[in-house]
Amino acid sequence: MKVVSVVGARPQLVKLAPIAAAFAETDHEHVIVHTGQHYDANLSDVFFTGLGIPDPDVHLGIGSGSHGVQTGGVLAAIDPVLAEQAPDWVLVYGDTNSTLAGALSAVKQHIKVAHLEAGLRSFNRRMPEEHNRVLTDHCADVLLAPTEQAVRHLATEGLADRTVLAGDVMVDVCLRVRDAVLSGQHPRPTLPEGIDPDAPYLIATLHRAENTDDPARLAALLAALAELPVPVALLAHPRLLAKADQYGLKIGQGAVHVGQPLGYAGLIAAVLGSAGVVTDSGGLQKEAYLLGRPCTTLRSETEWVETLDGGWNHLVPDPGALGPGDWIATATRPTPQAERGTPYGDGQAARRVVQILAERLG
């Protein structure tokens, strides 16, 4: 069996790591195509080196642009690559513009498409990620769902016969790296200047278009982080830096200490050392849950609804609407005591994915 993985943005590289490792245990041929959607070294290269992923076989070098330009650029560039590779499967990951373009190119060339992390829904049709998920699910041949909830969403949309519950490959990589960090195999992460790693601190990230692209909203979120009574290590995504600069907003005010995005092991170590997480990232909500740290999510909905059980994750769409006391109490709440269960699977999802693709080929 020959499988082409199409990746391009940071969260896809994290998911690619366990998949590439699972393929390496077999005789199947695995080809990696990087679209170049993320091109900064700390959003791309560090994941290949840090997670031991083989270098991409093909790099499309697409870069940034409007949604149409970025998606169309990948679509045009990947067509001849898939035609030449002629794989049995194209495997696309998550919900980025690279995911949709990879799926579309494959389906139009009658190459089978498998969608990893299928069936997630925010039901917020203003999110680019939601368009990408829904469209990719509806054109893929096999839907690799990470959770029971995702399976239910796909059934509701009439896609039950293409759906398989595979589990979540992010558990595979998160638990492996957590164990390596706890056994001292990684150096301490570089936290932003002014953060004492031995005193309580929060980890924060902010990059979703719905939070960064409206100046008033971005200003309000930055002000809410600034007034927290605990130091906040804000690991700034390039989109956040670019938008704050464009709107003339200062990111590093009050409690906030600004730093670079971290590599994967650095991020896991930083979360393990923290008192909690404040974020709008999908992956980080789940990593906080898996690592047992309380998470406050700056959105009105989450695709990872299981993290809300037992108070491990709280949704705060608008900190200002809560009043200063309630916002601070939520973001700095102590670690919940509730049991977490294993809604995201057993850490063996990547091997299962390879097996499912081989079986479904026959």
Nearest distance from C-beta of residue 304 to ligand UD1, angstroms = 13
Nearest distance from C-beta of residue 41 to ligand UD1, angstroms = 8
Whichever of 128 and 317 has its CB closer to ligand UD1, that residue is: 128
Nearest distance from C-beta of residue 333 to ligand UD1, angstroms = 25
Which stretches of 203-281 are DSSP H helices? 209-212, 215-226, 238-247, 264-272
Which stretches of the chain are DSSP H helices? 10-24, 45-50, 67-85, 97-108, 128-139, 148-156, 169-182, 209-212, 215-226, 238-247, 264-272, 282-291, 319-322, 324-331, 349-361
Binding flag, residue 239, ligand UD1 (CB under 6 A) = yes
Token pair belonging to 45: 């290269």
Binding mask 50-69 for ligand UD1 (x = CB under 6 A): --------------x-----
Whichever of 133 and 351 has its CB closer to ligand UD1, that residue is: 133
Binding flag, residue 11, ligand UD1 (CB under 6 A) = yes
Whichever of 96 and 296 has its CB closer to ligand UD1, that residue is: 96
C-alpha dist (Å) from residue 284 to 14, 34, 271, 316: 11, 22, 9, 15
User: Which residue among 54, 72, 215, 238 contacts ligand UD1 (CB under 6 A)?
Assistant: 238
Greatest extent of the chain over all pairs of C-alpha atoms, in Å: 60
Whichever of 285 and 330 has its CB closer to ligand UD1, that residue is: 285
How many residues make up the chain in this entry?
362
* Nearest by Cα to 329 from 309, 311, 346: 311
- Residue 310 is classified by DSSP as G
Binding flag, residue 136, ligand UD1 (CB under 6 A) = no
DSSP H/E element including 145: strand 142-145
Does residue 69 contact residue 97 with C-beta atoms inside 8 Å?
no
* Nearest by Cα to 234 from 223, 221, 225, 242: 225
Nearest distance from C-beta of residue 62 to ligand UD1, angstroms = 9
Nearest distance from C-beta of residue 151 to ligand UD1, angstroms = 22
Catalytic residue flag (residue 207): yes
The single residue of 207, 237, 257, 314 carrying the catalytic annotation is: 207
- Interacting stretch for ligand UD1, rule CB under 6 A, among 32-40, 184-192, 220-228, 293-301? 32-40
Distance between the two ends of the chain, CA-based, in angstroms?
A: 10
- The sign of the torsion formed by the CA atoms of 130, 247, 12, 68 equals positive
Binding flag, residue 130, ligand UD1 (CB under 6 A) = no
Binding mask 70-99 for ligand UD1 (x = CB under 6 A): -------------------------xxx--
Whichever of 209 and 322 has its CB closer to ligand UD1, that residue is: 209
Nearest distance from C-beta of residue 281 to ligand UD1, angstroms = 6
Whichever of 14 and 31 has its CB closer to ligand UD1, that residue is: 14
- Interacting stretch for ligand UD1, rule CB under 6 A, among 84-92, 186-194, 234-242, 305-313? 234-242
Query: For the sheet containing 163-165, what is the strand order?
Result: 58-59, 29-34, 2-7, 89-93, 112-116, 142-145, 163-165
Report, as residue numbers or ranges, the catalytic residues. 207
What residues line the site for ligand UD1 (CB under 6 A)?
9-11, 37-40, 43, 64, 95-97, 128-129, 207, 237-239, 242
